Amino acid sequence: MQEDDRLDLELHRRVLVGDRPAFEGLYRRYAPAAYGLAFRVTGQVSLAQEVVHDAFLALWRAPEAYDPGRGPFRSFFLSLVHHRAVDMVRKEERLRRRAERASNLERGSGEDVAVEVVEDAYLSTRRKEVREALLTLPPDQRTVVELAYFGGYTQAMIAEELGIPVGTVKTRTLAAMRKLRRALYRED
Amino acid sequence: MNEDHDRIEELLAGYVLLGLSGEDAIEADRLLSEHVPSCPRCRDAMAGLHAVAGDLALAVSPVQPPDLLLPRIRRGVAETPVRRRHRASLVAAAAGVAALVGLAGLSVQLGNRVSRTEQQRGRLLAAMEALQQPGTSPVSLQSQGETAAGLVEVSGPGVELMYVIGRDVPMPAQGRVYQLWLGSNGIFVRVEDGEFVPDDGLVLLELTVDAGRYDEILVTEERIGDTPASPSHLGHTWHAFLARAA
């Protein structure tokens, strides 16, 4: 287990018993990543703020929802943010307007560095690894993952957008996720 | 068999990316409730997919949130009832008991405790005592898809306080919590503070609610942080009819 994962576990353990400084410690560690993700998915500052606000309050109100046996806190919390962001855009019905941005990770990632953020070294390192892993995917696999994850598209919508069968979307998605897992977790 | 697992993993990959809709989404929810928890291969696949999905968030550059966001979150934190903070250790004290109890007047026994631990112990004892009260009648909540978990309901006239006690309650799917609902004439209302996650299968909640106004009780899985207007019926659910107070 990484040292940063241990720190997250300790902060989470304290949040379980109502420790506000620990909660704010998690905020300081993950708010920039959460806000960057929420802005990327929703495409709007106001919606991104709502997503991050709701996600942190959800964590405070039900910290038991994170089970350390199921993986790092980071994965749990950023997945929670992602869920809420996708819900938000689907409710807002703004998917079409964000199509271009969602289909091009590199171009999209450039616009959200509005403020210089100093983050923990571990997160920076992991961020680099994730980006490199994504770039190793064949373009057709990377596209379906990016449309789903960053664009909030369902697989049926992706199939329609790309003019391919839903089955092909599913196959490409699984292939991409397996490759990412091998790359990020050093699995054979 | 391998082909089946590939198909399942395909669905799970779409699930963690939130890409499923229609029948695929229903099928994934069914698999996550009925198959994945008992299948080591699928559990491993799901854990790996979840981890990757969590890491994908890091592909986006971090952005400093507006300065006003943290003060706003602090206000929300300050408004959250404190008693809910201690549920994890609370339910740990409930080993071996399986009951959901509604009874008036027990809150007196829970007041003026010197510590949270004692309060929790007192809450459990009060709930167990309620089971012995005349005029109460236990009602089991029927589990959908799981038979090992135990939840029982006991209510009597003038109910103002309700306890939810459970054992062997499975964890909800990642990112979800359980939510308690009360129904009247087929219309369910969400119980404020009725959100919970078991600790090692154990649950003990204390809720201020007039159970006599309702004729059904329901527990569903809901997405963490959501405040749904109606039950989603995803994952594990429990249900029972209540005897409405005269």
Q: Where are chain B's structural domains?
A: 2-59, 83-241
Q: Identify the segments of chain A with pLDDT beneath 70.
A: 1, 93-119, 187-188
> Which of A51, A13, A12 lies closest to A34 in space, CA to CA?
A51
Beta-strand relationship, B150-155 and B100-102: parallel
* Beta bridge partners of residue B182, listed in sequence order: B189, B217
What pLDDT, on a 0 to 100 scale, did the predictor assign at position A98?
52
Q: What is the DSSP string of chain A?
A: --HHHHHHHHHHHHHHTT-HHHHHHHHHHHHHHHHHHHHHHH--HHHHHHHHHHHHHHHHH-GGG--GGGS-HHHHHHHHHHHHHHHHHHHHT-TGGGHHHHT-HHHHHHHT--S-----HHHHHHHHHHHHHHHHS-HHHHHHHHHHHTT---HHHHHHHHTS-HHHHHHHHHHHHHHHHHHHHT--
CATH (residue range A1-94): 1.10.1740.10
CA distance A20 to B78: 9
ipTM of the complex: 0.83
Q: What mean pLDDT is predicted for residues B94-108?
A: 31
Predicted TM-score (pTM) above 0.80: no
The shortest CB-CB distance from A109 to any of B54, B61, B72 is to: B61
The one-letter amino acid at A132 = E
What residue in A sits closest to B116 (Cα-Cα)?
A17
The label of the residue with tokens 């959908």 reads: B144
What pLDDT, on a 0 to 100 scale, did the predictor assign at position B36?
86
* Beta bridge partners of residue B163, listed in sequence order: B101, B206
The label of the residue with tokens 């809420």 reads: A84
Show residues of chain B in contact with A153, CB under 8 Å: 19
Two tokens, residue B173: 């799917």
Q: ∠A110-B14-B4 over CA atoms, to 5°?
A: 150
What pLDDT, on a 0 to 100 scale, did the predictor assign at position A2?
72
Two tokens, residue B37: 């928890």
Taking the Cβ of residue A125 and every Cβ of chain B, the question of whether any pair is shorter than 8 Å is answered with no
d(CA A77, nearest CA chain B) in Å: 8
> pLDDT by residue (tens digit) across B196-209?
777 666 677 777 77
All structural domains of chain A with their residue ranges: 1-94
